[in-house]
Chain A
Amino acid sequence: MRIITFGTFDVFHVGHVNILERAKLHGSHLIVGVSSDALNFSKKNRYPIYNEKDRLHIIRSLRDVDEVFIEESLELKADYIKYFNADILIMGDDWQGKFDHLKGLCDVIYLPRTPSVSTTEIIEVVKSSII
């Protein structure tokens, strides 16, 4: 089964590792769409801390990942699923329900995030460690 998932994977942490490891358990080939710098800017009005080339490089180097690509637009999910011939779309459960409309194209599974690990939390720890 071919699995596809999407993410920013900024300030890479073990939560990212966990979700990709668990996504891979659902199939044999894991394809990861890494969102472009431009896409992030349009969503959050700031660029990611790690640039898209570095984020792609890190994700491509993980054991569980078979293939990577740059996600240019949020509207293109259906096109990416078709292009990569994915059987299953896996996303974190903060997206619960948001991709149900794609269930005609592939299975859609939402996985729980690792509690207490997130980029936001890392930023908090860094800020509180600076005296």
Chain B
Amino acid sequence: MKKIGYTTGVFDLFHVGHLNVLKRAKLECDYLIVGVTSDELSMSAKNKKPIIPFNERMDIVEHIKFVDEVVPQMNYDKEEAWNNLKFDKMFVGDDWKGSDKWNQIEKDFAEFGVEIVYFPYTTHTSSSFLREVLSKI
């Protein structure tokens, strides 16, 4: 049975940290679906508008070898995402591991046979770091 994997992100100022997540996610599944966060959702959650427009962010992720399908992420409802995509594994940054929120999500998803897999972040770069560097040029 092919395993479907799912991960989400804003993927603003695409960098090697994003690439590493996608590469590792693909190693652990057969078909990787990536949810790209809409501008509106990012605004409502982080009060920050992504630098790069939504359609360009989707376009970039679509062009990465490891990615099989790209979908917009319009809300944080993971159950709704699962109803639509029926993934077997969801990949998440490991800063969430052990949090109440994700412990609960792990339990809820275990009932559907969905595994939550945590990945470490790439330490030498991030979109926030890049924003800072670029603003000083």
Contact = CB atoms under 8 A, between A and B. Distances in A.
Q: Determine if chain A interacts with chain B.
A: yes
Given A11-B130, A62-B64, A130 B135 contact: yes
B86 interface: no
B16 A54 contact: yes
Nearest to A117: B56
Interface in B48-98: 49, 51-52, 56, 59-60, 63-66
B49 to A, nearest CB: 7
B105 to A, nearest CB: 29
Contacts of A62: 63-65
B89 to A, nearest CB: 21
Interface stretch (A34-42, A82-90, A100-108, A120-128): A120-128
Interface stretch (A13-21, A25-33, A72-80, A91-99): A13-21
Contact of B14 (A13, A21, A129): A13
Interface residues of A, number: 23
Contacts of A123: 134-135, 137
Chain B: number of interface residues, binned into ranges = 20 to 34
A58 B14 contact: yes
Given A13-B52, A125-B51, A126-B134, A61 B59 contact: no
A111 to B, nearest CB: 17
Given A12-B14, A125-B51, A126-B51, A63 B134 contact: no
A54 B15 contact: yes
A126 B12 CA distance: 11
Interface string B1-21: 000000000000111100100
B134 A12 contact: no
B103 interface: no
Interface of B: 13-16, 19, 22-23, 49, 51-52, 56, 59-60, 63-66, 125, 130-131, 133-135, 137
